[in-house]
Copies of this chain bind each other. A is one copy, B any other.
Amino acid sequence: MPASQLPFSAQEYKRRLEKTRRAMEEKGIDVLFVEDPSNMAWLTGYDGWSFYVHQGVVVFHDEEPVWWGRAQDGNGADRTVYMGEDRVLRYPENFVQSTVRHPMQHLAGFLRDKGFSGKRIGVELENYYFSAKAYLVLKEELPDATFVDATALVNWQRAVKSDEEIAYMRRAARISEKVIHGIVERVEPGMRKNALVAEIFRDAIRGTEGWGDYAAIVPLLPSGSDAAAPHLTWDGRPFEKGEATFFEIAGCYRRYHAPISRTVFLGQPPQHMLDAVKAVVEGVDAGLEAARAGNRAGQVAEALYAALEKAGIKREGRCGYPIGLSYPPDWGERTISFRPEDETILEPGMTFHFMPGLWMADWGLEITESILIKENGPAEALCNLPRELIVKN
Contact of A318 with B96 at beta-carbon distance under 8 Å, contacts A230-B73, A329-B329 already known: yes
Among B93, B210, B233, B341, point to the contact of A49 (Cβ < 8 A).
B233
Cβ distance A353 to chain B, nearest Cβ, rounded Å? 13
**Of B48, B132, B205, B232, which is within 8 A of A131 by CB?**
B132
- Residue from B97, B231, B233, B328 within 8 A of A329 (CB atoms): B328
Residues of B within 8 A of A317 (CB): 71-72, 93-94, 96
- Residues from chain B with a CB closer than 8 A to the CB of A205 are 194, 197-198, 201
Number of chain A interface residues as a range:
35 or more
A198–B206 contact, CB under 8 A?
Answer: yes
In the complex, the answer to whether A151 meets B133 with C-beta atoms within 8 Å is: yes
Is A136 in contact with chain B by the CB < 8 A criterion?
A: yes
Do A194 and B206 contact each other (CB < 8 Å), given the known contacts A73-B231, A317-B93? yes
Residues of B near A207 (CB, < 8 A) are 194, 236
Answer yes or no: A130 CB below 8 A from chain B CBs. Answer: yes
Is there an interface contact between B217 and A49, defined as CB atoms closer than 8 Å?
Answer: yes
A202 interface residue, CB < 8 Å from B? Answer: yes
Question: Is A52's CB under 8 angstroms from B202's CB?
Answer: no
Interface residues of A in 36-60 (CB under 8 A from B): 47-52
1/0 per residue, CB under 8 A from B, across A119-158: the answer is 0000101111111111110000000000001010000000
- Asked if B49 and A231 make an inter-chain contact with CB atoms under 8 angstroms apart, the answer reads yes
From 163 to 221 in chain A, residues with beta carbon under 8 angstroms from any chain B beta carbon are 192-195, 197-199, 201-207, 210-214, 217-218, 220
The residue of chain B having its C-beta at the shortest distance from the C-beta of A317 within the complex is: B93
A51 to B330, CA, bound (A): 9
> In the complex the two chains form, is B132's CB within 8 Å of A130's CB?
yes
Decide yes or no: A132 and B129 within 8 Å by CB, A48-B229, A231-B73 being known contacts: no
